[in-house]
Amino acid sequence: MKLEVVGDAAEPLMTCSLMTRTLIICFLLLFALPGNHVGVAFQPEFAEPILNLTVPLGRDATFTCVVRHLGGYRVGWVKADTKAIQAIHDHVITHNPRVAVSHNDYSTWNLHIRGVQEEDRGSYMCQINTDPMQSQMGHLDVVVPPDIVNEDTSGDVMVPEGGTVKLTCRARGYPTPHVQWRREDNSEIVIREPSGVKTKVSNFQGEFLKLSKVTRSEMGAYLCIASNGIPPSVSKRIMVNVHFHPVIQVPNQLVGAPLGTDVTLECQVEASPRSINYWVRDTEIPGPTRKPTPGRYVPPHYDEEDYPDQLGSAEQEAEEEMTNNVADRVPTKGGPHPTLLPPGRKNNHVVFSERGEMEISESSARMEVASLLGTVAALLLLLKV
């Protein structure tokens, strides 16, 4: 049986058939033609790469992820090394209160990290939840300026002349700081090798500085300086004190003055630690002057009852640290080293050099001459009478 449609009833059927064919052709054309057609236009893509960041400790860092055609998809942030989710779309997932997110027109997505710490260092991934997932990464480098580790760094030191001292300077920071040494007064640092080779340098590189067979000229302040390219550099001042026996210089070993006038005796002392200096005449120790002047002695007026305390103090100090004594001594038979005279014994004024040699001054001779002249004058007066 054959069905025929005649007349006006055939027109709607033909129109419907034509419309169906047109829709099918349009659908095929849209997904077949390259370019911005409907099937591709709603697929998200990254518009630009994420920039790597280098941020000093304590500053803020912001990663930016630019996405085109996001549509109904979502953007997430993940810390790559720990796989910890930081945020999804506009919701923060991590419990870190310093992390926040923001976006602009659903195309620019930002991950904010306030006051970055060293644990924030690493790679961060921006993801789009497509199938398969799309992602790109940026790296955060947290740099830390150098800092001296005081508990692992040397403090002020004391060393005897001719001894050895090892100075240590520890520093932390990121990148790892390098350490150098120099003297505060810009003098050269003397490096002595075990082989005997001696080198003088203006600065020395390394955490450890070894000073061998030190001399008094090497005494002073040494600076340990740490730097890693992140300002500011830091330094620590370390004092090296070299102990050595007193050295005495007497500019004028014989001083003359008219009878009844004042006279000042002077000696120059070099010692470390600072020496206790006092003057002795005929085994009497007057002690420090009332207004002391370093290296000078002006005969003062003093009370005899002050003598025992000052003598005891001088002897006690002499036992505790090196002292410089200008005293009455006599040479021993066995060598040039002098010894103290026993109490009550008289002797001429003696001045000692560093080697223990002695010279007898003319002070007592002058007093004897003055006494003799006085006796002669008295006899002349008696004869006149």
pLDDT for res 297: 47
Q: 173, exposed or middle or buried, with CB in 10 Å at 0-12, 13-18, 19+?
A: buried
pLDDT for res 3: 38
pLDDT for res 177: 97
pLDDT above 90 as % of the chain: 54
Q: 114, exposed or middle or buried, with CB in 10 Å at 0-12, 13-18, 19+?
A: middle
pLDDT above 70 as % of the chain: 64
Determine the Cα–Cα distance for residues 325 and 199; give it in Å rounded to an integer. Answer: 37
pLDDT for res 43: 87
Mean pLDDT within 234-246: 95
pLDDT for res 385: 56
pLDDT for res 373: 76
Residue 22 has φ and ψ, to the nearest 5°, of: -65, -40
- Binning pLDDT at 50, 70 and 90, where does residue 34 land? very low
Mean pLDDT within 84-113: 95
pLDDT for res 278: 84
From 68-77, 96-105, 148-157, 309-318, the region with the lowest mean pLDDT: 309-318
Cα 231 versus chain centre, distance: 14
* Residues 6+ positions from 302 with CB-CB distance below 8 Å: 286, 287
Encode pLDDT of 322-342 as tens digits: 334 433 333 444 444 333 333
User: Residue 305 pLDDT > 90, yes or no?
Assistant: no
User: Residue 35 pLDDT > 60, yes or no?
Assistant: no
Mean of pLDDT over the chain: 76
Nearest-CA neighbor of 274 among 207, 343, 218, 323?
323
pLDDT for res 286: 52
Is 362 or 227 the better-scoring residue by pLDDT?
227
pLDDT for res 73: 94
pLDDT for res 211: 96
Determine the Cα–Cα distance for residues 85 and 48; give it in Å rounded to an integer. Answer: 22
Mean pLDDT within 342-362: 37
